[in-house]
Structures are given as structure tokens and as C-alpha cells.
Amino acid sequence: RGTTSGLLVHGDNDVGILGSLPSTVDRAVLEGWLEVQPAPQEQLLRALIDTLPPGPTPTVDVATKRKLAQVVRDHYAEHPHALALQARGNTIPPTVANHRNVEETRLQRG
């Protein structure tokens, strides 16, 4: 949730937000998760997989991280209700709401 919130707020720090991603991923493992994802999250996972460079263990470099971040933003813009499908604990971080409030205040002040 925190990573998604950070990506949804703005695109200024996509590489930093996705900094903990591994340098390579196993495409077959990711594809194996497709069948257990609820709709529309399987669409998100498919789009993420399709964004990766070709090969069985694609490299996740800076350019790929930026593309992956945009895929996440596009998905949740199209399916905002899907945010409720994310794993969560007892506390929901108010990151997105806080940033929206700051932006609204900034716009009101001109």
C-alpha cells in the first residue's frame, strides 16, 4: 500500500520508490501467479510482466522501474476500486489523502 500510494501521488521519485525491487525477476514465477489473482489484479500483473524486458530473467533497471511505475498508475486510474484488493494490516496509511490535501491547499492559495 505504501509503495502504491507513493506511485499514485506523483511520478517524481519512481526509481526511489521502486528501489527495493530486485535487479532481475523470474518471468515464469510471475506468470504462475496470474491464475490466482482476482480481477482486475490479473490485468495489472499481466501488464507488469509485459512491461519487463524479454527473456526468462529480465533485468529491472532504472528505465524499467519508470515503466513499471506508470503501469501501476494507469491500472489504478482505470480501476480505483482495486486498491481495496491490496494486502493490508490494521492501519491504512493516509499518504494519498495527505498529498491530495496539500495539493488542494496549494491550488487554493494560487
Summarize pLDDT for 9-27 with one digit per residue, the tens: 888 999 999 999 999 999 9
Whether pLDDT at 75 is above 70 = yes
Q: By the 8 A CB rule, do 27 and 50 touch?
A: no
Q: Average pLDDT over the chain, rounded to whole? A: 87
* Domain span holding position 77: 2-109
How many folded domains does the chain comprise?
1
What CA–CA distance (Å, rounded) separates 17 from 13?
6
Q: Where is pLDDT greater, at 40 or 2? A: 40
